[in-house]
Amino acid sequence: MTSPDLVPLRRALISVSDKTGLIELGQALAARGVHILSTGGSAQRLAEAGVPVTEVGDHTGFPEMMDGRVKTLHPRIHGGILARRDDEGHVAAMNTHDIPGIDLVVVNLYPFEATVAKGADFETCIENIDIGGPSLIRGAAKNHDFVAVVTDPSDYAPLLAELAAHDGQTTLDLRRRLAAKAYARTGAYDAAIGAWFANRLGQTWPESVTVSGTLRQTLRYGENPHQTAAFYVTGERRPGIATATQLQGKELSYNNLNDTDAAFELVAEFDRPAIAIIKHANPCGVAEGDDLPTAYARALACDPVSAFGGIIAANRTLDAVTAEAISRLFAEVVIAPDADEAARAVLASKKNLRVLLTGDLPNPAQPGTLIKTVAGGFLAQSRDDGRVLPANLKVVTKRGPTPKELADLLFAFRVGKHVKSNAIVYAKDLATVGIGAGQMSRVDSSRIAAIKSREAAEAAGLAEPGTKGSVVASDAFFPFADGLIAAAEAGVTAVIQPGGSMRDQEVIDAADERGLAMVFTGMRHFRH
């Protein structure tokens, strides 16, 4: 059958939880002579505004019952939605059973996701699972040849514009676009309910899972210009790029978003003022300090060459002094919980610099799920929320770390958690002084980090590299002693690593021979 392009809008069913724009929509439809059916609070709100409305119970001849659980589930409603107007049998059934056609369904669902987010009890969450709403939406979307369905108040204006442009009629193109959006909404709604149920039942990995997201931004391109990309948000209440307000600067790119997320997650690991500078999802400098300006200067000193064009993250409100220092470096993005007025004024002079303020920091210990697509499916794992504390450490060498070494070891290991494997992090005085990332061999990561440290020292006119007297962290065990020996040659005095290699004793012996202190964490931080 050929679908009609233009369909006159004569009767509409409106039943919404979110009342945004409801009165304006009702008034505009009534002004066009549209007969409005409605339920409960929506009908009351429309009637109070003087909009002519018929209660669904009056239309069906069947009262609303069971605390509103049963009201629209009736043949006179669903028949009016699902009937094909070009099918003689459907039209005959409508005439026989006195079922008027419904040309528009405006429904948004009970706020299940918001109810769960508020921490409501089990029964309250159950009562906020909509039944009639999804049935109406899916029925209208299925019969989009003749029925328009609106699930989002942001679509009221386009709908009314369409009616104005086509003398009270909707086009097939609009109805199809609205139908696609409607199915996406009910799919996401069911996914949220399924995930909540699985969580309540203690099912970490249920038999079936659906991942849903809402489009936040269509991006200019992906990692490379020939790739398309978009940014979707899931509704997870985690401070970061999804919650941030962009104060200024150009549109964020795919790579900007990826790197900014990495930077902010890293800097949130620290309790004292801290700065993380990220390039290509790896840190090129991280430091704590008594204040942000100190932390920034020390983070930048680790690798000022790589920091050019990087992402800068702070875990405190940005001040003018830090903003002034940042403004002297070409950076792509700055992200922080907040910025004072003086800092905002300083950064405003850098028109292309993207400045993001999140309002808060993510909790590194908060559980969550990470997803990566693979051919034919996806891999899911819990977020790496592991944190190593002094009590978790096992001293395996003849010499134990000094208090200063211990503080640096824990700092370095925490940074290493956010470095691509194989990861090696040299640190001194709670600042990185050399980072080796993403190498196929751990010894190469050790050597590269040392080389970077020497180059930074030479550029700064220092007599020796920062690795002299530093500590080193490895995200996984040293499979051979060579990586540790390379670190020792760079000047480290203490080592932190997970342990667990068949050659642990060989590595321990190498550390003892060089007078190094070494501790095992028992926890690995691979990051691929």
Instruction: Please indicate whether residue 71 is annotated as part of the active site.
Output: no
| Nearest alpha carbon to residue 363 among 277, 276, 265 | 265
In this structure, the strands spanning 424-427 and 354-357 are unpaired
Residues whose CB is less than 8 angstroms from the CB of residue 200 and which lie 6 or more positions away in sequence, other chains included: 122
Residue 422 in 3-state DSSP? coil
Q: Which among 166, 250, 280, 404 is annotated as catalytic?
A: 280
CB 389 within 8 A of CB 294: no
Write out the two tokens for 11. Answer: 């009767």
CB 170 within 8 A of CB 146: no
Helix (H) / strand (E) element for 174: namely: helix 172-200
- What single string gives the DSSP state of each residue in 255-324? HHHHHHHHHHHHHTT-SSSEEEEEETTEEEEEEE-SSHHHHHHHHHHH-HHHHTTEEEEESS-B-HHHHH
Residues whose CB is less than 8 angstroms from the CB of residue 520 and which lie 6 or more positions away in sequence, other chains included: 393, 394, 396, 497, 498, 499, 500, 504
CB 313 within 8 A of CB 260: yes
Residues whose CB is less than 8 angstroms from the CB of residue 116 and which lie 6 or more positions away in sequence, other chains included: 125, 192, 196
CB 297 within 8 A of CB 321: no
CA distance 362 to 525: 19
CB 497 within 8 A of CB 476: yes
Residues whose CB is less than 8 angstroms from the CB of residue 333 and which lie 6 or more positions away in sequence, other chains included: 249, 252, 256, 259, 260, 263, 311, 312, 353, 354, 355, 356
Residues whose CB is less than 8 angstroms from the CB of residue 121 and which lie 6 or more positions away in sequence, other chains included: none
Q: Which among 142, 166, 181, 250 is annotated as catalytic?
A: 142
Instruction: Please indicate whether residue 142 is annotated as part of the active site.
Output: yes
Active site residues per annotation: 142, 280
